[in-house]
Structures are given as C-alpha cells and as structure tokens.
Amino acid sequence: MPEIAPGAIHYPGFLDAAAQEALAREIADVIAQAPLFVSRMPKSGLPMSVRMTNCGPLGWMSDKDKGYRYEPRHPETGAPWPPIPQMLLDVWDALTGYPKPPEACLVNVYAEDAKMGLHQDRDEADFDAPILSLSLGADCRFRFGGRKRSDKTIAVTLSSGDALVFGGPARLCFHGVDKILPSMLTPLPAPLAGLGARVNLTLRRVT
C-alpha cells in the first residue's frame, strides 16, 4: 500500500461497493440520531463549509467562544453521541492494530463547493494512536504536508472507499481538502444520497 509520507498510508478502494453501501447505511443512522450541525471557527465565529456530526463517547466540534474541542454530547440536541458502528471498530482493528478502540468518530459532510483548510489534528491528548480516515462519494484533492505549516505539500486524490491511516511521524502533519473534484462525482451511496457530495469519517483516540 502506498505510503504517501512516513506514517501516512493510503489504502485505495479499501471498502468495496457493498461495504461502502453498508457503511453509508450506518452513517445515515448516526445522522438520524445526531443531526448534522455547523461548527464555527474560534474567535472569528465564521462557519466552516463542512457540516458535521459524530459517533462514539466523544465528538469533535468548534464554536466561536470555546473553540476546538471534544464534547460528550451533541451541541444542539444535548444527547450523547450514538455509538461507533461495529464495522468501523473492525476496520480500526484491521488497519491500525492499536490496542484500544477509537473514542471519537467525526463525520464530515462536504457539499460540492466545501473544502477544509490546512490543519493539524492536535486537539487530542494522545498522539500515540493513529487517526483512521475513510471516504465515501466524490473524489477530493487531499493536501498533505509536514509538521510546519510552511513545509512543502503533496496532493493525493481520495476516492470513495479509500482509507488513510495517519500515525507515527505523520500524526501531526498538516493536511486539508483543497476541493471536491467535480469531474469525478461518484455519488454518495444511496442511504446518504442528497446530503452532499462527499463524506469523510475520522476515527481517533482522544484521551
């Protein structure tokens, strides 16, 4: 499997069409219990272009006043996040081999014009565990750099069914989503159709 950088391993097509459909059904269920919401940038309060929700004991969110953080409850319904579907726990075990289960699964839903700026995932207390990312729907141009924002970056296409594991030396590398690739609009699997163009899941240890 191509290592796009030390510690960052890309598994193109890791989920076949049937597994993508099954995952889409699980995620549609999560969204039914924990509706998509919009996080806001710390300080500026500007809305992010992706809509999000979570499953697992903790969920990632951000708002103007308290910024980036993990919370045990949905910011609008006040309910605990639904559990992480078993098939995701199985993929975590298979691809990370990490001895403890993920505590958070962030679900990001991209409209055709949504993107995600270059960032590090550093709101977790545990950087020993890798992050596992799974993508559904349209291709995107994913950007991957180094530990400093100014380090040189490379572009990788992430497609429906792809997995990406970020661990070890890659764990704190800057990354983002430049754009959804409209020439490659693989529709989201049926259970998620209509919600957007692309869905990305990231599973993490937090504590």
Strands, DSSP E only, in the chain? 3-5, 8-11, 51-55, 59-61, 69-71, 104-110, 116-119, 131-137, 140-144, 154-158, 163-166, 175-180, 198-204
The interface with ligand MD6 within residues 96-155 (CB under 6 A) comprises 108, 116, 121, 131, 133, 142
Specify the DSSP element, H or E, that contains 30.
helix 17-33
Q: Interface with Fe ion includes 124 (CB under 5 A)?
A: no
How near is the Cβ of 170 to ligand MD6 at its closest, in Å? 9
Applying CB under 6 A, the span of 32-40, 91-99, 158-166, 185-193 interacting with ligand MD6 comes to 158-166
Beta carbon nearer to Fe ion, 103 or 121? 121
- 5 pairs with which residues across the strands? 8
Tokens 């391993």 identify what position? 9
Q: Of ligand MD6, Fe ion, none, which one does residue 52 interact with (CB within 5 to 8 Å by kind)? A: none
β-pairing, 140-144 vs 175-180, is antiparallel
Beta carbon nearer to Fe ion, 26 or 121? 121
Q: Interface with ligand MD6 includes 88 (CB under 6 A)?
A: no
Beta carbon nearer to ligand MD6, 70 or 166? 166
Beta carbon nearer to Fe ion, 77 or 148? 148
Contact 82, 29 (CB under 8 A): yes
Beta carbon nearer to ligand MD6, 81 or 166? 166
Contacts of 84 (CB under 8 A, 6+ apart): 55, 56, 101, 102, 105, 203
Q: Interface with ligand MD6 includes 202 (CB under 6 A)?
A: yes
Q: Interface with ligand MD6 includes 160 (CB under 6 A)?
A: no
- Rounded to 5 degrees, φ, ψ at 100 are -115, 150
Task: Pick one of 26, 103, 121, 124: the residue that binds Fe ion (CB under 5 A).
Answer: 121
Q: What is the DSSP letter of 80?
A: B
Q: Interface with ligand MD6 includes 54 (CB under 6 A)?
A: no
Query: Where along the sequence are the contacts to ligand MD6 (CB under 6 A)?
Result: 108, 116, 121, 131, 133, 142, 158, 164, 166, 175, 177, 200, 202
Query: Where along the sequence are the contacts to Fe ion (CB under 5 A)?
Result: 121
